[in-house]
Amino acid sequence: MFPVLAFLVGLPVLAAIAIVLIPKSRSELLLPVAFGLSLLPLAVAGYMVWTFDTAGGFQWVESIIWMERLRIGWTVGVDGISLFLVALTAFLFPISILASAKISDRLRGYLVSLFILETGVLGVFIALDLVLFFVFFEIVLIPMFFMIGIWGSSNRKYAAIKFFVYTAFGSAFLLASIIALAVNAGPVLQTVSFQWNDLAQVPMTSAAQTWLFFGFAIAFAIKVPLFPLHTWLPDAHTEAPTAGSVLLAGVLLKMGTYGFIRFNLTLFPEATVKYGKWLALVAVIGIVYAALVATVQPDIKRLVAYSSVSHLGFIVLGTFALTLSSVQGGLIQMVNHGLSTGALFLLIGMIYERTHTRKIADYGGLASTMPIFSGFFLLAVFASIGLPGLNGFIGEFMVLIGSWQTFPVLTVVAASGVVLSAIYVLWAYERVFTGPPGKANKDLEDLNSREIAILVPIAVLIVFLGVYPKPVLDRMENDVNAVISRIEQSTNYERPTFDLEGRLTVDVGVPEQGESPSGEGSE
Partner 1 sequence: MGNIAFLPIGLEVGLLVGALGILMAAVMRGCRTRDWAIIAGTAIGFGFVVSVRQWVVVGDIGPQLAYGTKGIDGSAVANQMVAMDKFGALGGMILMIVVGLVLIGSWQMITDLGTRGAEYVALILLSVAGMHMMIVSANLVMLFIGLETASLALYVIAGFLRDRRGSDESAMKYFLMGSFASALFIYGVALVFAATGSTSLYGPTSIGMFLGGNVMPDPGILLIGIALILVGLAFKMSAAPFHQWAPDVYQGASTGAVAFMSTGVKVAAVAAMVRVMYLGFFQFYDDWSMAVALIAALSILVGTATAIAQSDIKRMLAYSGVAHAGFLLVAVLAARVSLDSMWFYLATYAVSLVGMLTIVGVVAGVNSGPVSIDSFRGLGKKSPMLSVAIAVFMFSMAGIPGTSGFIAKLVVFTAADLNGFRWLVVLALLASVAGLFFYLRIIVVAFFDDTDAEETPSTPTGPRIAIGFAVAVTVLLGLWPTLLLDFAREALPHL
Q: Which residues pair with 63 in a beta bridge?
A: 75
For partner 1, the closer of residues 144 and 324 by Cβ is: 144
Identity of the residue, 22 or 168, whose beta carbon is nearer to partner 1 in the bound complex: 168
**Alpha carbons 277 and 289: distance in angstroms, whole number:** 18
CA pair distance 463, 459, nearest whole angstrom? 6
First CA to last CA across the chain, in angstroms? 40
Q: Is 214 in the site for partner 1 (CB under 8 A)?
A: no
504 Ramachandran zone, left/alpha/beta (phi>0; psi -120 to 50): beta
Positions 27 through 66 that interact with partner 1 (CB under 8 A): 66
Q: How far is the CB of 455 from partner 1 (least distance, A)?
A: 31
State yes or no: residue 230 binds partner 1 (CB under 8 A): no
Residue from 74, 164, 227, 382 touching partner 1 (CB under 8 A): that is: 164
* Residue 244 engages partner 1 in binding (rule: CB under 8 A): no
Q: Which residues pair with 129 in a beta bridge?
A: 195
Under a CB-based contact definition with an 8 Å cutoff, are residues 307 and 425 in contact? yes
Q: Which residue of 29, 64, 165, 361 would you call a contact of partner 1, by CB under 8 A?
A: 165
The enclosing H or E element of 7 equals helix 4-21
- Binding range to partner 1, per CB under 8 A, among 171-179, 307-315, 448-456, 476-484: 171-179
Which residues within the stretch 67-126 sit at the binding site for partner 1 (CB under 8 A)? 67, 69-70, 106, 109
d(CA 246, CA 252): 9
145 binds partner 1, rule: CB under 8 A: yes
**Is position 6 an interface residue for partner 1 (rule: CB under 8 A)?**
no
Q: How many CA atoms lie within 13 A of 259 on its CB side?
A: 32
492 CB-near residues (< 8 Å, 6+ apart): 273
Residue 79 CB, shortest distance to partner 1, in Å, is 24
The single-letter DSSP state of residue 264 is I
Query: 141-151 and 232-239 helices cross at what angle (nearest 10)?
Result: 60
Does 183 participate in binding partner 1 (rule CB under 8 A)? yes
> Which region, judged by CB under 8 A, interacts with partner 1, from 140-148, 199-207, 282-290, 414-422?
140-148
Of the candidate spans 84-92, 143-151, 348-356, 418-426, the one that interacts with partner 1 by CB under 8 A turns out to be 143-151
Counting contacts by CB under 8 A, is residue 141 touching partner 1? yes
Among 113, 156, 219, 236, binds partner 1 (CB under 8 A): 156
- Which of 101, 138, 299, 413 lies at the binding interface for partner 1 (CB under 8 A)? 138
Among the residue ranges 53-61, 138-146, 327-335, 370-378, the one whose residues contact partner 1 (CB under 8 A)? 138-146
For partner 1, the binding residue among 4, 44, 90, 175 (CB under 8 A) is 175
> CB of 398: closest distance to partner 1 in angstroms?
35
Among 179, 200, 281, 387, binds partner 1 (CB under 8 A): 179
CA dihedral of residues 510, 511, 514, 520 (deg, nearest 10): -40
* Residue closer to partner 1 (CB basis): 138 or 362: 138
**Rg, C-alpha atoms of the chain:** 22
Among 180, 285, 292, 426, binds partner 1 (CB under 8 A): 180
The DSSP string of 213-254 is: HHHHHHHHHHHTTPTTS-THHHHHHHHS-HHHHHHIIIIIHH
From the list 6, 49, 61, 161, which residue makes contact with partner 1 (rule: CB under 8 A)?
Answer: 161
How many other β-carbons are positioned within 10 Å of the β-carbon of residue 393? 20
Smallest gap from residue 152 Cβ to partner 1 (A) = 9
Cα separation, 247 vs 481, whole angstroms: 29
For partner 1, the closer of residues 146 and 268 by Cβ is 146
Is there binding between residue 223 and partner 1 (CB under 8 A)? no
Q: For residue 518, how many other CB atoms are within 10 A of its CB?
A: 12
Q: Which of 38, 75, 96, 171 is close enough to bind partner 1 by CB under 8 A?
A: 171
Q: Which residues contact 154 (CB under 8 A, 6 or more apart)?
A: 239
Q: Which of 126, 160, 385, 399: binder of partner 1 (CB under 8 A)?
A: 160
Give the total of residues touching partner 1 (CB under 8 A): 37
The answer to whether 188 contacts partner 1 (rule: CB under 8 A) is no
Q: Rounded to an integer, what distance in angstroms lies between the CA atom of residue 185 and that of residue 198?
A: 9
Among 192, 281, 413, 444, binds partner 1 (CB under 8 A): 192
- Cα-to-chain-centroid distance, residue 24: 36
Interface pick for partner 1 out of 27, 28, 157, 460 (rule CB under 8 A): 157
Alpha-helix runs per DSSP H in 356-370: 366-369
State the Cα–Cα distance between residues 43 and 499, nearest whole angstrom: 45
Residues contributing to the site for partner 1 (CB under 8 A): 66-67, 69-70, 106, 109, 131, 134-136, 138-139, 141-142, 145-146, 149-150, 156-157, 160-161, 164-165, 168-169, 171-173, 175-176, 179-180, 182-183, 186, 192
